[in-house]
Structure 1
Amino acid sequence: MVNTYPSDTSANPAIVAQSAVRRLPRWIVWTLCLAYVLPGFMGRTPWKAADMEAFGFMFNLAQPFGSDNVSWLKPTLLGQTDSGAALLPYWLGAWAIQLAPKGLPIDTAAQLPFIALLGLTLAATWYAVYALARTPAAQPVSFAFGGEAKPADYARAIADGGLLALLACLGLARLSHEATPALAQLSFSALLFFALANLARKRMTSLFCAALAIIGLALSGAPALAMILGAGGAIVIALDTGQPQSLRVRKVDVAWVLIFCLASAAITSGLDLWRWRVASSHLFEIQAMARLLLWFTWPAWPLALWTLWRWRNQLKSISANPHLSLPLWFMGVGIATTWMSGLSDRALLISLPALATLAAFALPTLKRSVSAFIDWFTLLFFSVGALIIWTVWLSMQTGFPAQPAINVARLAPGFVLQFSLTAFILASLATLAWAGLVRWRAGRHRSALWKSMVLPASGAILCWLLVMTLWLSLLDFGRSYAPLVNKVRSMMGATDCVHYYGLTKAQGAAFQFHGNLKLLPVTTRAQSTVSNTSQCAWLIVDTQALAAFTQEVDASAWTQHATVRRPSDNNEDIVLFRALSISITAKP
């Protein structure tokens, strides 16, 4: 039998002493995670457009207007179902709204489950990396006279590095802070990654998590992804020959995972949730795909490539090396899904935990010069980014320097920045912490595996926190529908309903939530059987639908009142019409 254990130094590049795996204080890990998770969810309204659309489904489920029938199995918004066929994310948001205490804003309540989902993503990634690093093939080379890293300490250091690599990924920040099905898919795929990585050691916990993850993925708009990741991942783990016989995955456990996949397929078929969305027109856009991968997965992708190069001898017997094969499977599926779904960055989200895992296994093999380059590049990149954020904020507050404030006024006309002491204090503390971290990293300290990822992760968190404090009111003004809705609402006076034509689901949700309006579709020529009447005095139409509106609706019953532009968007206008005569046929 061929020996695939770490003593085979020709295949294992990890040469790690016990001194290099010292513990990263847990309070630092918790602080970094909280500083990343909470900003971006708190203090803002749902943004354009996927965020607002998802909230609209939750809002309609939790607080339906009037006596309209609401189907929890077929949630609708403006009479349309979700094109992604997701259910569970909307259920979670709606339940949170219904259970929220009085006084808590509805949009904040809807975000609470998604805060938990992002936290679950980070935790699942850490424990998955830890489990994979504990496998014999991933362990460092044993020294002739002892002193090599202990298995548990080594695995913990690698897991810390994997978590930091995930936090550092540029593409994770915005999309992981939107209450959309994409975040649910990321969370459940990370949970499945954790379950498969731990299947040999923690059978019952892993099987429970695998069932939850597969069903959760299927009900979050990704039933095919649940089948592929679940079945393929189970087979990858089952083929592992690098483990001692006592630690190998049992065939019955693999069978259970496959049963979960079949059960999820049956459930989604019964609920009619299968959707095939292959964008063949984008399959040959190689450059666009490369650009997306380069920035979205930075800085994990260079380290992941380095891992594949340094561990290339183990790739020859990849089935015996689950610390490489399992993340490669999840990463490959995520990239392939992105490619076939029209280069969707939301689809690429699910590859980030696996990519961060591969990046973590590069840390034991990095040369000191490479580590120093990462540190200095990161230091310059994020320090300059933080300086720009502070400069723009100072310009908006004081008018000096003048040009940033002029640019903001041009891009967001009508925006007035108000000083927030809380935001200023949080941003100042984060900046001081960054300065202290840079000073610590520049000092002489014992090497640790996770040190090379501390600055990238902390820098990404710093810039994210600064943007979500100092720039939050500006971003909320620019990306929220509230300014547009408030303008239209002020022109309509006292009314509780409005007709609509050609609105997107996100626009409709915004008028329902921000405007507190009941939206009724306008009667078209094909639907009209009597003289033109209207239940509401006002009609709103998206400008992009005006041509179709004049053809399908009898415009003689309406007179144009105003055209309202979304302040920060030149391509989104709402035309407001007033009814010439109103016949109340039903109570709005």
Structure 2
Amino acid sequence: MTFAERKTPARLASPAARKLPRKILFWVMIAYIIAGLYGRDPWKTDDLVGIATMMSALEENHWLSTYIGVLPYPELGPLTHIIGGVFIYLFSPLFEFFVSPAQAHILAARLPNFFYFFSMLWGVWYGTYLLARRPEAQPLHLPFGGEPNPRDYGRMIADVALLFLLASVGIVIRLHETSYFPLLMAIYGVAFYGFVRFLDHPTQGSLVLGTMLVAAFMTRGVVGVTPLLLVSLSLFITRIYNLRLKVFLFISLLLATLLSVVWLASTYNIDPEWVVNWWDYQRQLFSLSHWLETPKNLRDLSWFLWPCWPFALLALWNWRQWFDTPHIFIPTSFVIANLLVIFTTARAFEPEYAPLTIAFAILAALAIPTLKRSLINLLDWYSIMVVSFALIAIWVGWVALHFGIPQQIHHNIMRLIPGFDTRILWINVIAGIIICIFWYRLVAWRIKSNPKAMWRGLTLAAAGTTITWFLLSALWLPAINYNRSYRTVGESFAQLKLPTQTCIRGENLGEGQRAAFYLFGNVHFSQDEACRYMLLQTNKESLLNSSFKNPSIIWQGQRDSERHGETFLLIDLKTQK
């Protein structure tokens, strides 16, 4: 059946494709990425590990392989710390005029998040725009005209996809980490653009996709690049790309393969043991036995992909006769490829779920012109209700924390942050009030103006997610930081002022804890069994049952907010009693 013989499910009049005001979109994006990015310590685990690998690249000269101090960390590739290390090298001297060198490194390490964030949004917006302006994606021609032109329609769909992405619940916190997560999201967003760009500019598409393939491989290894390879395979075996485009696709795969081989060969010449450990870790990630975790993954995806997934499923149903067209096939192949990776990967969670957000946001946007106006308005009212409730809950919790009312809520909160200083930061309170006033004004504008544009139903959803995150950062960031930071225990250890070359072996430490002591305590852990000192994570009960009887404890520390008995001991093994 040709395109002309099919009945498109999209119905839209020209006023519904009115351009979203760019000032509103710009300020929503800026507020989204700034809130929670600064004014806090690195949190466990990936946040700490990310900065630790960047500092290790600078201090230990490990650029092509990933290390925490002098210990290898083969779970990740080097691209994240290469970019972060360069930013630290360039910008930390400027920040040192205002803050300590250690804090300057953290501030500089977070600058790439702006680049990752806007790269992801650019890739999604422009790729969606190119797809939506294609002939097969156009809405139904009205009897007397008045349907939007392809450019306006494509821009409207792209705006909605961007708003869906900003409204997604699961990626908000992780996009603010100094880890591989925001970089991987940027790679997938730009890779989506590359797949779409093949259709009208194959040379550019080939270069973009080839670069993103090797970038994904150097960021997350096999699990990072496999979804993109599966999408490429689907385009090879279907008719979405003609023979000429498939040749360019093969060239991009060849380019990525050559660059990946160059990286691995160069790294092997410098550090063969790291490459062997990295490959062993990659082989252990995939197994068909992980299909047993499917119910858990589906449960987690239901909240992680909210509010995109209901609209994405509607799009797949309403456009079901158009699966052989690029605007449905490419994002759908993204969904299938990532689901296959999730269901066959060990302990799949947020990093594996995240690329689905991009594909679901695009499909959800394509559902909007197929829906009735009443259903779109329902999304507005849902956003008003949920966001308003969330803002009230944040304020109720804050009042309970600082004033003890309600008493039970205060008690439950203080169990998580024992010893937290509840002094009120009035500048944060003022910021929270302004945020709530802005939400009120936005809701009033939406109800009063009742715009006809199709993005109207997503404006409150995207802005509401951003405002909720902004209020949470303004009122709760000090308490959350107190709960999740390792700074105090690391700086307490640093006060011992042990020589830099002191041999210290870690025992029962997670990677995030190793990273924390490396960053805040200047501890360079060793794998040497003959080390004189051992830093042990334990608790009193475990210590009594351990093989170390009457240990010679040089130092003992604990996080201020610790409530599970997590204790760190520095033991002198040579003078053990």
**TM above 0.5:** yes
Once the two structures are superposed, what CA deviation does each residue of 1:44-96 show, in whole Å capped at 9, x if it has no partner?
Answer: 111011111121111111234xxxxx332223225432232311001111111
Matched, 1:14 2:10: yes
Aligned residue in 2 for 1:95: 86
Tell me if structure 2 keeps the 8 A contact 1:223–1:265: no
1:218: how far off?
Answer: 1.1
Matched, 1:250 2:279: no
Aligned pair in 2 of structure 1 residues 391, 399: CA closer, same or farther (>3 Å)? same
Aligned pair in 2 of structure 1 residues 389, 249: CA closer, same or farther (>3 Å)? farther
Q: Please, which of 53, 61, 79 is the counterpart of residue 57 of structure 1?
A: 53
Tell me if structure 2 keeps the 8 A contact 1:18–1:149: yes
Aligned pair in 2 of structure 1 residues 260, 548: CA closer, same or farther (>3 Å)? farther
Letter aligned with residue 28 of structure 2: L
Aligned residue in 1 for 2:65: 74
Matched, 1:218 2:212: no
Matched, 1:326 2:320: no
Aligned pair in 2 of structure 1 residues 265, 441: CA closer, same or farther (>3 Å)? same
Give the whole-Å Cα distance in 2 for the aligned partners of 1:152 and 1:420.
48
Give the whole-Å Cα distance in 1 for the aligned partners of 2:226 and 2:258.
10
Aligned residue in 1 for 2:566: 572
Letter aligned with residue 285 of structure 1: E
| More displaced 10-residue stretch of structure 1: 28-37 or 250-259 | 250-259
Aligned residue in 1 for 2:101: none
Once the two structures are superposed, what CA deviation does each residue of 1:462-484 show, in whole Å capped at 9, x if it has no partner?
Answer: 11111122111111111111133
Aligned pair in 2 of structure 1 residues 580, 214: CA closer, same or farther (>3 Å)? closer
Give the whole-Å Cα distance in 2 for the aligned partners of 1:523 and 1:15.
69
Tell me if structure 2 keeps the 8 A contact 1:203–1:253: yes
Aligned pair in 2 of structure 1 residues 230, 493: CA closer, same or farther (>3 Å)? closer
1:548: how far off?
Answer: 12
Aligned residue in 1 for 2:341: 337
Tell me if structure 2 keeps the 8 A contact 1:498–1:518: no
Aligned residue in 1 for 2:484: 479
Structure 1 unmatched ranges of 5 or more: 65-69, 529-533, 583-588
Give the whole-Å Cα distance in 1 for the aligned partners of 2:54 and 2:356.
27
Letter aligned with residue 567 of structure 1: S
Once the two structures are superposed, what CA deviation does each residue of 1:320-350 show, in whole Å capped at 9, x if it has no partner?
Answer: x111110011112222222222232211111
**Within 5 Å, which residues of 2 pair with 1:214-363?**
214-223=213-222, 225-226=224-225, 228-230=227-229, 232-233=231-232, 236=235, 239-240=238-239, 250-267=245-262, 269-270=264-265, 271=267, 272=275, 274=279, 275-276=282-283, 277-278=285-286, 280-314=288-322, 318-319=323-324, 321-341=325-345, 342-363=347-368
Matched, 1:33 2:29: yes
Matched, 1:396 2:394: no
What's the TM-score, normalizing by structure 1? Answer: 0.86
Aligned pair in 2 of structure 1 residues 577, 154: CA closer, same or farther (>3 Å)? same
Give the whole-Å Cα distance in 2 for the aligned partners of 1:463 and 1:94.
32
Matched, 1:126 2:151: no
Tell me if structure 2 keeps the 8 A contact 1:192–1:230: no
Tell me if structure 2 keeps the 8 A contact 1:161–1:360: yes
Give the whole-Å Cα distance in 2 for the aligned partners of 1:20 and 1:294.
30
Once the two structures are superposed, what CA deviation does each residue of 1:120-160 show, in whole Å capped at 9, x if it has no partner?
Answer: 11111111111110111111112232111111111111001
Aligned residue in 1 for 2:371: 366
1:420: how far off?
Answer: 3.6
Tell me if structure 2 keeps the 8 A contact 1:199–1:249: no
Letter aligned with residue 478 of structure 2: S
Aligned pair in 2 of structure 1 residues 228, 335: CA closer, same or farther (>3 Å)? closer
Aligned pair in 2 of structure 1 residues 547, 397: CA closer, same or farther (>3 Å)? closer
The secondary structure found in structure 2 opposite 1:306 is: helix
Aligned pair in 2 of structure 1 residues 224, 494: CA closer, same or farther (>3 Å)? closer
Aligned residue in 2 for 1:429: 434
1:165: how far off?
Answer: 0.5
1:225: how far off?
Answer: 4.2
Aligned pair in 2 of structure 1 residues 486, 196: CA closer, same or farther (>3 Å)? same
Once the two structures are superposed, what CA deviation does each residue of 1:162-181 show, in whole Å capped at 9, x if it has no partner?
Answer: 00111111111111111212
Aligned pair in 2 of structure 1 residues 180, 388: CA closer, same or farther (>3 Å)? same
Letter aligned with residue 103 of structure 1: F
| More displaced 10-residue stretch of structure 1: 182-191 or 204-213 | 204-213
Q: Going by fraction, where is helix more abundant, 1 or 2?
A: 2
Give the whole-Å Cα distance in 2 for the aligned partners of 1:139 and 1:200.
17
Tell me if structure 2 keeps the 8 A contact 1:559–1:579: no
Tell me if structure 2 keeps the 8 A contact 1:97–1:109: yes
Give the whole-Å Cα distance in 2 for the aligned partners of 1:119 and 1:427.
25
Tell me if structure 1 keeps the 8 A contact 2:132–2:153: yes
Give the whole-Å Cα distance in 2 for the aligned partners of 1:374 and 1:437.
15
1:431: how far off?
Answer: 1.7
Q: Please, which of 520, 538, 547 is the counterpart of residue 543 of structure 1?
A: 538
1:577: how far off?
Answer: 3.2
Give the whole-Å Cα distance in 1 for the aligned partners of 2:527 and 2:131.
58
Aligned residue in 2 for 1:586: none
| More displaced 10-residue stretch of structure 1: 377-386 or 560-569 | 560-569
1:268: how far off?
Answer: 5.5
Aligned residue in 2 for 1:157: 156
1:443: how far off?
Answer: 2.6
Equivalenced residues, count: 551
1:265: how far off?
Answer: 4.7
1:433: how far off?
Answer: 1.7
Aligned residue in 1 for 2:19: 23
1:425: how far off?
Answer: 3.9
Give the whole-Å Cα distance in 1 for the aligned partners of 2:479 and 2:385.
26
Aligned pair in 2 of structure 1 residues 568, 364: CA closer, same or farther (>3 Å)? farther
Tell me if structure 2 keeps the 8 A contact 1:566–1:573: no
Give the whole-Å Cα distance in 1 for the aligned partners of 2:379 and 2:296.
26
Aligned residue in 1 for 2:270: none
Matched, 1:415 2:420: yes
The secondary structure found in structure 2 opposite 1:285 is: helix
Letter aligned with residue 144 of structure 1: P
What's the TM-score, normalizing by structure 2? Answer: 0.87
Aligned pair in 2 of structure 1 residues 192, 520: CA closer, same or farther (>3 Å)? closer
Structure 2 unmatched ranges of 5 or more: 97-103, 268-274
Once the two structures are superposed, what CA deviation does each residue of 1:180-226 show, in whole Å capped at 9, x if it has no partner?
Answer: 12222221111110111122223443333222211211110234543
Give the whole-Å Cα distance in 2 for the aligned partners of 1:540 and 1:575.
6
Give the whole-Å Cα distance in 2 for the aligned partners of 1:279 and 1:417.
48
Identity %: 26
Letter aligned with residue 7 of structure 2: A
Matched, 1:197 2:196: yes
Tell me if structure 1 keeps the 8 A contact 2:536–2:569: yes
Matched, 1:509 2:521: no
Aligned residue in 1 for 2:272: none
**Within 5 Å, which residues of 2 pair with 1:371-386?**
371-386=376-391
Once the two structures are superposed, what CA deviation does each residue of 1:251-309 show, in whole Å capped at 9, x if it has no partner?
Answer: 44223223234325534653445413125553213321221110000000000011011
Tell me if structure 2 keeps the 8 A contact 1:559–1:580: no
Aligned pair in 2 of structure 1 residues 473, 557: CA closer, same or farther (>3 Å)? closer
**Within 5 Å, which residues of 2 pair with 1:428-577?**
428-489=433-494, 492=496, 499-502=504-507, 503-515=509-521, 517-521=522-526, 524=529, 527=530, 534=532, 539-543=534-538, 551=547, 558-559=552-553, 562=556, 564=558, 567-570=561-564, 572-577=566-571
Aligned pair in 2 of structure 1 residues 571, 173: CA closer, same or farther (>3 Å)? farther
Aligned pair in 2 of structure 1 residues 295, 155: CA closer, same or farther (>3 Å)? same
Give the whole-Å Cα distance in 2 for the aligned partners of 1:17 and 1:522.
67
Give the whole-Å Cα distance in 2 for the aligned partners of 1:549 and 1:103.
47
Letter aligned with residue 71 of structure 2: Q
Give the whole-Å Cα distance in 2 for the aligned partners of 1:522 and 1:285.
34
